[in-house]
Amino acid sequence: MDVLRRLRGTNNEGVLALVLLGLIVAMSIANPTFFTLNTGFSILRSSIVPVIFALGVLIVVITGGIDVSFAAIAIFAGYSTVSFCLTAGFDPGLPGIFAIAIGVGVALGFINGIVIARFNLPTLIVTLGTQGVFFGAMYTYVGATYFADLPGSMAALATSNLFDVTTDTGRAYLHVLVVPVILLCLAVGWVLKRTMFGRSLYAIGGDIEAARRAGFQVQRTQVSVYMLVGALAAIAGVIHIVLSRSANPRDLVGGELDIIAAVILGGAAIFGGRGSVLGTVLGVLLVQVIKNSLLLVGVPSAWLRTAVGVLLVVGVGIQAIAAHRDARRTRVIQDLDTDLKKEQELV
């Protein structure tokens, strides 16, 4: 029983892994071309950017908030960095490019954080508003030109693979950027589990008033959270541009649904206080595999958004039903507790 519970995980990660595994097996039986290194690597490649986004969304969701401006921050940071490098005609190298982009992302995240924490406004509405503001500001001040050529260092990164294998179905490439994503996951996981900052996120998500009374610096933490999301979004933005080998200001915005659905499916509670990196990564993979397999079985791509939307509603629905059931169970437990005590007293 205990082993089972451990396998299931605190946020149902085990169940999710099982669903993912089941899906992969089912797809492989239905369509043999699915179960190849090729597909595997390409799903991993397409998961790189969503995973980074999802880490950011996870952090916000744990505190009980939601951020829908991350895609706008990502493209703002990534695109304006590329635009700046190309128009100024110099290449600061990869560390330089990431540093500039992260700086921009953190600044934009700071705006979100200050507005939300200082004026205590609903996070969804604020980030919905800033999403528009950031996007519009980028068009107005940075431009809307499509850059087909990237600075040299980025272009070089675009074609670097960790390794490539020749299989009977063709060559399979594993992109080198998988490595920093894994490192980021480990880092965020460590922050959440092993730092007071991480624990304070769960505390705030659990009960914000209690967190205040316990002496947590709630406002400061909230601002830091949105700055961190900004930084993660900026990294994702640059990586997206690298992977697509061009800088298109119209990319990313509009794809928030996939990310939020993945995080919620991954067991993060939309009411805050729950969520893990492992669950989130599984959630992203699940969404990517479902999208991929729907394409393979011939579902028109127009239906993909519908499928993801359904997943989001199912994910939230499961949480709501579970919460309702738990509430009932606590009442029954209390009932039994008092009954038990009474019996003990009688004895």
Question: Which of the residues 166 through 195 are near another protein (CB under 8 A)?
Answer: 193-195
Among positions 8, 45, 199, 305, the unique one binding another protein when judged by CB under 8 A: 199
In the bound state with another protein, the residue whose beta carbon lies nearer, of 59 and 138, is 59
- Smaller CB separation from another protein, 240 or 274: 274
> Could you count the other beta carbons within 10 Å of the beta carbon of residue 145?
13
**Which residue, 79, 84, 81, is CA-closest to 98?**
81
Q: How do 161-167 and 170-175 pair as beta strands? A: antiparallel
Other Cβ atoms closer than 10 A to 42: 17
Question: For residues 38 and 171, what is the distance between their CA atoms, to the nearest angstrom?
Answer: 7
CB of 216 to another protein, least distance (A): 6
Compute the distance between CA of residue 112 and CA of residue 108 in angstroms, rounded to an integer.
7
- Nearest partner of 101 among 90, 112, 111, 109, judged by Cα: 109
Of 45-53, 70-78, 254-262, 337-345, the segment contacting another protein by CB under 8 A is 337-345
Query: What is the total count of residues that contact another protein (CB under 8 A)?
Result: 40
**What separation in angstroms does the CA of 5 have from each of 10, 194, 274, 333?**
8, 22, 17, 19
179, 162 Cβ separation under 8 angstroms: yes
Instruction: Give the shortest CB-199-to-another protein separation in angstroms.
Output: 5
Binding another protein (rule: CB under 8 A), the pick from 171, 250, 324, 342 is: 342
| Nearer Cβ to another protein (182/210) | 210
Q: Does 209 bind another protein (CB under 8 A)?
A: yes
Q: Determine the interface stretch with another protein among 102-110, 144-152, 205-213, 313-321 (rule: CB under 8 A).
A: 205-213
Beta bridge pairs of residue 175: 161
Q: Which is nearer to another protein, 200 or 288 (CB)?
A: 200
> Helix 277-296 to helix 13-30 angle, to the nearest 10 degrees?
20
Q: Is 149 in the site for another protein (CB under 8 A)?
A: no
User: Using CB under 8 A, which of 174, 202, 225, 263 touches another protein?
Assistant: 202
What is the phi/psi pair of residue 170, to 5°?
120, -175
62 three-class SS: helix
Q: Which of 97, 203, 238, 260 binds another protein (CB under 8 A)?
A: 203
Cβ(238)–Cβ(97) under 8 Å? yes
From the CB of residue 84, how many other CB atoms can be counted at a distance below 10 Å? 17
- Helix (H) or strand (E) holding 27, with range, is helix 13-30
Q: Give yes or no for residue 8 binding another protein (CB under 8 A).
A: no
* CB nearer to another protein: pick between 45 and 212: 212
Q: What H or E segment, with its residue span, contains residue 172? A: strand 170-175
12 belongs to the binding site for another protein (CB under 8 A): no
CB of 35 to another protein, least distance (A): 38
Smallest gap, in angstroms, from Cβ of residue 36 to another protein?
41
Which among 72-80, 156-164, 228-236, 270-278 is the span making contact with another protein, rule CB under 8 A? Answer: 270-278
Candidate list 95, 141, 213, 302; residue touching another protein; CB under 8 A: 213
CB of 232 to another protein, least distance (A): 20
Binding residues for another protein (CB under 8 A): 193-200, 202-203, 205-207, 209-216, 269, 272-274, 326, 328-335, 337-339, 341-342, 345
